Amino acid sequence: MLGVEPAGAGAQRGMQYVLLNFNANTYDVVTGYFESASSNAMGAAFECSGNNIDYFGGTDHGEWFFTDITGAGAGTYDVQIWPQDDNYIPAAIWLITKNNSFLGTANQCGPSPVALLRSGFSGFSGEFNVAAPTTMLPIELIDINAQGVVDRIDVTWNVASEVNFSHYELERSEDGATFEHIATIDGISGPNNYHTYVYNDYDVRFFQNYYYRTRNVDLDGTFDYSPIVVASIYNDGIGLTEDAVTLYPNPSFGNFALSIYSSDVMNLEMEIHNSLGQIVSQREFVGQKGNTVINVASEEWAPAVYHITLRDVNTGQTINKRFIKN
C-alpha cells in the first residue's frame, strides 16, 4: 500500500510504502490509512540497544493505522515499510512499533527506517510507526585500516566524533579468532571532532597475517568493537621464496639435493615428513648469500611422497615442497 505523508505544521512531505504479510492467519477484511500522529514519549528501554526510545517517526512523518473489520481474525503477521523521504533524524538503530510499544518479535531492528521489517504482530486495530533512540554512540567510527610498511604494520582509524568516551584498546590476532591486547590509546573526545589515530606495530614477523580490531571503551565502562582488518609485511628479495628452492632429481630412486638461492644469509630449519606425518629427517643449517646446496640421504626411504618444510628462523617465513621417492 502507498500512503501520502502529511503536510501539516512541522511535517515532512513525502510518501511511504507498507507491506503486510498475513502468513497463515484468518484475517478476512483489514482496512488501513495513513495519518498524522500525535507526539509520543515512551522512554522505555530500547530492546535492541539498551537506550531509551525518544523519537517517533510518526510525529513528523505520519503513521499507519490498520483495523480488522470483522474482529474475528487471528494469527501473526509481518509489517515492512519504506519511507520515501530522506530527512529522518540521524539514528543508528530503528524498529517498527505498534500502539507505541514493543509488540511483535523482539530485537528485530535495522540501521535505517527504510525497508524495516518486524514480524510476530497479532491482532489489528492499532498505530504502526517507526521509532529510534537518539542517544549518541560513544564514537562515530568512519573507517579502520591496516597496512604493512617495510618493517612494521600501521593501523589507522578515523572517527567523526567521541562523546563521553574514554579510550581505545587495540587488539591483535594471528588467526583472526583469538585476540590479545597490545596498546591503549586515549580518546581525544568531543562531538563533531574528526580525528585520525595511528599505531605503528613493530612486533611483527615477515609473511605472517596479523588481524587487528579496536575495543572502544566509554566512560561508564561499556564498549563495542570495530570491524577486523588484516595486513602483513613482505621483505622483497630477502628470505625464502618458492621459486628460489629447487629439488633434484625429483622423482628419485636414491638421494636428492636442495638448491636454495638467497640475496642474504639465512638461518634455516628443515623437516621432512612421510605421508603419515612422521619426521624422517630434520636439521638446521645456514643458507649463504647466493646459492646453497643441501644433500639429503634418502636412498633407504620407502617409495612414497614426502613433504619438506623449510623455515627461516629469523623471519618465520615457511615454504613447503614435495619430494617423490620411486
The DSSP code for 177 is S
CA distance 44 to 108: 16
Same fold across 139-231 and 242-325: yes
pLDDT above 70: residue 138: no
To 5 degrees, how large is the angle CA 223–CA 228–CA 234?
A: 140
**Phi, psi (degrees; rounded to nearest 5) at 59:** -60, -45
Q: How far is CA 215 from the centre of its chain?
A: 13
84-136: pLDDT as tens digits: 765 777 676 788 988 888 889 988 888 788 889 999 998 888 888 888 877 65
235-271: pLDDT as tens digits: 555 567 776 788 888 899 889 988 887 777 889 999 9
pLDDT > 70 in the chain, percent: 86
321, three cell numbers: 615442497
Output the pLDDT for position 141: 81
50, three cell numbers: 539498551
Return the higher-pLDDT residue of 240 and 168. 168
pLDDT > 90 in the chain, percent: 25
Output the pLDDT for position 17: 83
Confidence of residue 16 (pLDDT cuts 50, 70, 90): confident
In this structure, the number of other CB atoms found within 10 A of the CB of residue 235 comes to 16
Please compute the mean of the pLDDT values over residues 150-158 and round it to a whole number: 90
CA distance 132 to 52: 8
pLDDT above 90: residue 181: yes
Share the mean pLDDT of the chain: 83
Output the pLDDT for position 13: 57
Look-up of cell digits 590479545: 180
Output the pLDDT for position 91: 72
Q: Are 45 and 52 contacting, i.e. CB atoms less than 8 angstroms apart?
A: yes
The DSSP code for 244 is G
9, three cell numbers: 505544521
Q: Please give the CATH number for the structural domain made up of 139-231.
A: 2.60.40.10
Output the pLDDT for position 4: 66
Q: Which residues contact 130 (CB under 8 A, 6 or more apart)?
A: 56, 57, 58, 61, 81, 83, 88, 94, 95, 96, 97, 113, 116
Return the higher-pLDDT residue of 31 and 171. 171
Architecture of the 242-325 domain? Sandwich (2.60)
- What is the rounded radius of gyration, in angstroms, for the C-alpha atoms of the chain? 32
151, three cell numbers: 618493517
CA distance 224 to 13: 37
Ranges of each domain in the chain: 2-132, 139-231, 242-325
The DSSP code for 233 is B
Confidence of residue 83 (pLDDT cuts 50, 70, 90): confident
In this structure, the number of other CB atoms found within 10 A of the CB of residue 275 comes to 10
203-218: pLDDT as tens digits: 887 777 899 999 998 8
Report the predicted TM-score, pTM, of the whole model to 2 decimal places: 0.43
- Identity (one letter) of the amino acid at 79? V
